[in-house]
């Protein structure tokens, strides 16, 4: 490599690190507010172009469909409608999340002075917007898709179909939950998910530079001392070296929180990502290739695409300083997107496995909500048993160690490799139908 090329790469690396490190908030930099507004405009642009493109494509299909077989015409129409709805879902969520992040970043003083009802509404809109958008698009899709295309593989239909069997929506939902927790595989998978902090310590921490095992909770103690929200009694407990008792109590509290509150919160996301979007991407794949199942590469391609987009969906709030703090708002984008991308295949695998075992057509994102709720709650406990080598790196503690950190990314990457090898040697293929 020539000297000029090395200088050029060094200049780019230096500028990139400066951009991520200092946030570009100076006079010569790009502020986070500017980035958030650009993401909002980009999402609006995608939404408009999507509607124009598929409107024109629909008109062209009508002209070219005279010589097309009727059944195939309906299939092509349904595929286009599903693709349009997937992009609608992505762009609408981008608009909502970017708008909320702008409010949180630029008008934080207004939110702080607002009433409790306004704060609750802001919170609920943030976590449940994917579920609301997915539900609206579900109703639109049911009126526009050709039902004969998926009546034997009704992953696009909601629980409402249970009315045909003389049961109501809530009856079908209750029976699903009952089967879910009676099946042996699901409790075992939840138990395995609860071991996340130990798996991260054994695997992830060894693969990330400057991260090491520590039984003294120094990483957590340093973060708590700079967090005005943390109870002073908790800090005193750590300073008295009651690490084991605090870790054990936090473990069971986090497990309960993951099963209850976290599951309810993450259902708002999973209803969109691992239910609405996953079912449509898989159905499009199967309709285009005229087959009943997908292979391993197709499974990873679609599941990682969903994870990548859900990671991007979290970027606005990360830039607003909510997930990693204001100082790490830009560095946090990297582990946020990467961890969501790597977690998605595991969530999709668990979802499909349990749906097949429980003979369930559609789970509405409930299975992945439980798994992700526990994973996110338990993942933060790895900070109790981790430390970084020097004081400078402690600033990046939540980027290096935690549920959406570089350490967890290393662990998830190895788990995905194992899953890929196992599925590649399996005779089974993924189908979005349940067992008959």
- Mind listing the pLDDT tens digit for each residue in 336-383? 999 999 999 999 998 888 888 777 777 888 889 999 999 998 887 887
Q: Is the distance from CB of 98 to CB of 40 less than 8 angstroms? A: yes
pTM to 2 decimal places: 0.86
The answer to whether the beta carbons of residues 357 and 185 sit under 8 Å apart is yes
pLDDT at site 363? 82
Q: What is the 3-state secondary structure (H, E, C) of 227-259?
A: CCCCCHHHHHHHHCCCHHHHHHHHHHHHHHHHH
- Find residue 211's DSSP bridge partners: 388
pLDDT, tens digit only, all 436 positions of the chain: 566 666 667 767 666 666 666 554 544 567 888 889 999 999 999 999 999 998 888 887 776 665 555 556 777 888 888 899 999 999 999 999 999 999 887 777 767 777 888 888 888 898 999 999 999 998 888 777 766 665 555 555 444 444 444 455 566 666 777 777 776 577 777 888 888 878 887 888 788 887 877 776 666 666 665 555 555 666 666 666 666 677 777 888 888 888 889 999 999 999 999 999 998 998 888 888 877 778 889 999 999 999 999 999 999 989 888 888 777 888 889 999 999 999 999 999 988 888 887 777 778 888 899 999 999 988 878 877 777 776 556 667 778 888 888 889 999 999 999 999 988 887 665 554 444 4
Query: What are the percentages of helix, strand and coil residues in the chain, rounded to 5?
Result: 75, 0, 20
Task: Say how many residues make up the chain.
Answer: 436
Look at residue 234 in the predicted model and tell me its pLDDT.
Answer: 61
If you write DSSP's letter for every residue of 301-322 in order, what string do you get? HHHHHHHHHHHHHHHHHHHTTS
Angle between the N-to-C axes of helices 218-225 and 232-239, in degrees from 0 to 180, rounded to the nearest 10? 150
Helix (H, G, I), strand (E, B) or coil at 195: coil
Domain locations in the chain as residue ranges:
1-26, 128-424
Token code pair at residue 97: 């999340």
Using CA atoms in the order 16, 342, 362, 160, what is the torsion angle rounded to 10 degrees? -20
Contact predicate 258/374, CB 8 Å: yes
The continuous run of DSSP H or E covering 387 comes out as strand 386-388
Cα separation, 352 vs 433, whole angstroms = 9
Q: What is the pLDDT of residue 78?
A: 83
Among the listed residues 334, 348, 325, 346, the one whose alpha carbon sits nearest the alpha carbon of residue 274: 348
Exposure on the CB side of residue 135, measured as CA atoms within 13 A: 13
């Amino acid at each position: 490599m020539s000297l000029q090329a090395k200088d050029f790469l060094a200049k780019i690396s230096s500028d990139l690190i400066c951009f991520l490190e200092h946030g570009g908030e100076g006079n010569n930099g790009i502020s986070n507010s500017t980035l958030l507004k650009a993401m909002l405009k980009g999402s609006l642009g995608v939404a408009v172009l999507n509607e124009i493109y598929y409107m024109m494509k629909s008109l062209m299909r009508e002209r070219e469909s005279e010589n097309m077989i009727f059944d195939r015409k309906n299939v092509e129409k349904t595929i286009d409608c599903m693709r349009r709805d997937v992009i609608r879902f992505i762009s609408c969520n981008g608009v909502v999340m970017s708008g909320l992040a702008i409010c949180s970043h630029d008008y934080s003083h207004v939110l702080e002075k607002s009433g409790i009802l306004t704060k609750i509404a802001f919170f609920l809109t943030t976590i449940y917007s994917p579920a609301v958008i997915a539900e609206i698009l579900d109703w639109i899709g049911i009126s526009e898709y050709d039902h004969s295309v998926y009546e034997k593989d009704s992953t696009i239909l909601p629980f409402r179909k249970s009315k045909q069997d003389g049961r109501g929506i809530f009856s079908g939902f209750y029976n699903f939950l009952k089967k879910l927790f009676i099946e042996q595989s699901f409790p075992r998978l939840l138990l395995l998910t609860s071991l996340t902090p130990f798996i991260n310590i054994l695997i992830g921490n060894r693969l990330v530079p400057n991260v090491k095992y520590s039984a003294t909770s120094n990483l957590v103690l340093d973060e708590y001392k700079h967090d005005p929200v943390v109870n002073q009694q908790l800090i005193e407990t750590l300073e008295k070296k009651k690490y084991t008792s605090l870790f054990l109590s936090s473990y069971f509290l986090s497990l309960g929180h993951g099963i209850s509150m976290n599951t309810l919160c993450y259902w708002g996301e999973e209803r969109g990502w691992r239910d609405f979007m996953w079912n449509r991407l898989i159905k499009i794949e199967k309709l285009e290739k005229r087959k009943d199942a997908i292979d391993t590469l197709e499974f990873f391609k679609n599941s990682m695409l969903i994870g990548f987009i859900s990671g991007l969906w979290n970027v606005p709030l990360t830039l607003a300083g909510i997930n990693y703090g204001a100082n790490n708002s830009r560095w946090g984008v990297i582990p946020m997107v990467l961890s969501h991308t790597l977690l998605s295949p595991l969530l999709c695998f668990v979802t499909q496995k349990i749906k097949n075992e429980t003979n369930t057509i559609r789970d509405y994102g409930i299975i992945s909500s439980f798994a992700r709720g526990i994973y996110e709650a338990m993942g933060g406990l790895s900070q109790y048993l981790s430390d970084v080598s020097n004081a400078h790196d402690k600033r990046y503690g939540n980027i290096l160690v935690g549920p959406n950190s570089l350490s967890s990314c290393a662990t998830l990457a190895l788990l995905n490799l194992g899953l890929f090898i196992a599925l590649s040697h399996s005779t089974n293929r993924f189908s979005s139908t349940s067992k008959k």
